[in-house]
Amino acid sequence: MTFPLAPGAMIGILGGGQLGRMLSLAAARLGFDVTILTPEANAPAGRVSARTLQADYEDPAALDEMARTCAVVTFEFENVPAAAVAHLMKKGVAVAPAAQALAVSQDRLEEKRFANAAGIATVAFSAVDTVADLNAALARMGAPLLLKTRRGGYDGKGQVWVRRPEDAAAAFAEIGERPAIAEAPADFRRELAIIAARGRSGEIALYPLTESHHENGILRRTTAPARGADKALPEAERMAVSLLTALDYVGVMGIELFERDDGKLLLNEFAPRVHNTGHWTLDGCEVDQFEQHIRAVCGWPLGPTRASRGVEMINLLGEEVRAWPRYAAEPETRVWLYGKSEARPGRKMGHVNRMMRPES
């Protein structure tokens, strides 16, 4: 495959959620078509894409069809089975980001080890495969510890605080006695995030730092750019550049950080894809994260990342989506809805970007 890809080419996306939907809209604007592979019927991304293959991610016929028809394949969530990516690569199709980024980010333990080896600070942590391992971690690091499954957790799922050593067995049972990681508390004063992009020729573009507000492990709000973050910015940018370079990364990556009271930054985790903390770029930047990702995987030059205005991004979770008429009536607010019919509690149904006035 020769890059840059010319408009008219087909881009494959593994995953059919809202991130795929917004990637597909961005791809269409640049003249590309998109094929979505998703097991879900009526998926948010499929409804705005040229083609949907409804099949399991490891379905060989669906993957073969993708390899035959797509010039490049990317993904919109990181829990795509590694075997699916390996199958596509064996068929000779370009996959971006590459398999290593996916493998590292799928395993919280590997992710932290990789980060530390690349010179990026994280909380102290310990591998936990048994209750004895957890007891040893408690003896070494003290309580409390946050016990997380190594794989498959998201939005605060698969995590439990171990507040006292005597709670170890119950905590390990609560996460299903699965391979896990025990983390020291981050003791952060706030959570920051940075959206980073790397193109096929190795050029890097970084968006401004933003501030994340979580509730019950789910992102509620992003303020962009983060206020008072001048001191944190150089270190955040250094971390982002180290990660992208160490992974020889192509595409957009979402990087979540803790800022401690002493100003020190720690990496929480990274996602090898467009990210909820970057939704503000849709209305705050000339080139948003979705277009940036399409540009990167297609070998186009990266676009500008500076904030043209401040934005407050608010997630609409579950029934909150019913408030769309109120948001739609606000002149400074843009509404993004994902076309999901069932508003389950905590489900990301849409978001709004509220443009901040220059003096605020």
What is the contact surface with ligand AMP in residues (CB under 6 A)? Answer: 123, 146, 153, 156, 183, 185-186, 191, 214, 217, 256, 268-269
Take residue 94 and report the two structure tokens written for it.
Answer: 């370009």
Min separation Cβ 305 and ligand AMP, Å:
23
Structure tokens at 93: 């199709």
Q: Which is nearer to ligand AMP, 39 or 185 (CB)?
A: 185
Q: Compute the CA torsion angle 253, 259, 263, 266 (nearest 10 deg).
A: -60
Least CB distance to ligand AMP at residue 338 (A): 21
The alpha carbon dihedral of 41, 46, 50, 55 has a sign of negative
How far is it, in rounded angstroms, from Cα 275 to Cα 22? 11
CB of 172 to ligand AMP, least distance (A): 17
Nearer to ligand AMP, 185 or 339 (CB): 185
- Non-local (6+) Cβ contacts of 158 within 8 A are 148, 149, 152, 175, 176, 178
Cβ atoms of residues 231 and 244 within 8 Å: no
Nearest residue to ligand AMP by CB is 186
- In the three-class reduction of DSSP (H, G, I as helix; E, B as strand; rest coil), residue 300 is classed as coil
Element (H, E) at 116: helix 108-117
| Amino acid making up residue 199 | G
Closest CA to 281 of 260, 301, 254, 262: 254
CB 276 to ligand AMP: min, Å: 11
Toward ligand AMP, which CB reaches closer, 178 or 309?
A: 178
Q: Which residue has the tokens 């849409």?
A: 350
Closer to ligand AMP by CB, 69 or 223: give it.
223
Contact criterion met (CB below 8 Å) for 36 and 77: no
| CB 275, min distance to ligand AMP, A | 11
Is the CB of 162 or the CB of 252 nearer to ligand AMP?
162
Name residue 15's amino acid.
G
We find the least distance from the C-beta atom of residue 297 to ligand AMP, in angstroms, to be 25
- The stretches of 263-358 forming alpha helices (DSSP H) are 281-284, 289-297, 324-328
Nearer to ligand AMP, 49 or 268 (CB): 268
Question: Is the separation of the CB atoms in 109 and 119 below 8 Å?
Answer: no
| Between 3 and 154, CB nearer to ligand AMP | 154
Residue closer to ligand AMP, measured from CB, 18 or 149:
149
CA atoms within 13 A on the CB side of 1: 25
| Shortest distance in whole angstroms from residue 110 CB to ligand AMP | 14
Using DSSP, state whether 105 is helix, strand or coil.
Answer: helix
| Smallest gap from residue 41 Cβ to ligand AMP (A) | 28
